[in-house]
A = this chain, B = another copy of it.
Amino acid sequence: MVVGHLTAADADRVFHALADATRRDILIRVIRSEQSVSALARHYPMSFAAVQKHVAVLEKAALVGKKRRGREQMVHAEHETLRRIARLLDAYEDLWRQRNDQITAILEEDDERVEK
Distance to closest chain B CB from A57 (angstroms): 11
Judge whether A62 is part of the interface by a CB distance below 8 angstroms. Answer: no
Judge whether A93 is part of the interface by a CB distance below 8 angstroms. Answer: yes
Contact: B28 with A21, CB < 8 Å? no
Partner of A86, one of B20, B32, B82, B86: B86
Contact: A82 with B77, CB < 8 Å? no
Partner of A95, one of B8, B9, B31, B93: B31
Interface residues of A in 57-76 (CB under 8 A from B): none
Contact: A32 with B93, CB < 8 Å? no
Nearest B residue to A86 via CB reads: B89
Contact: A85 with B89, CB < 8 Å? yes
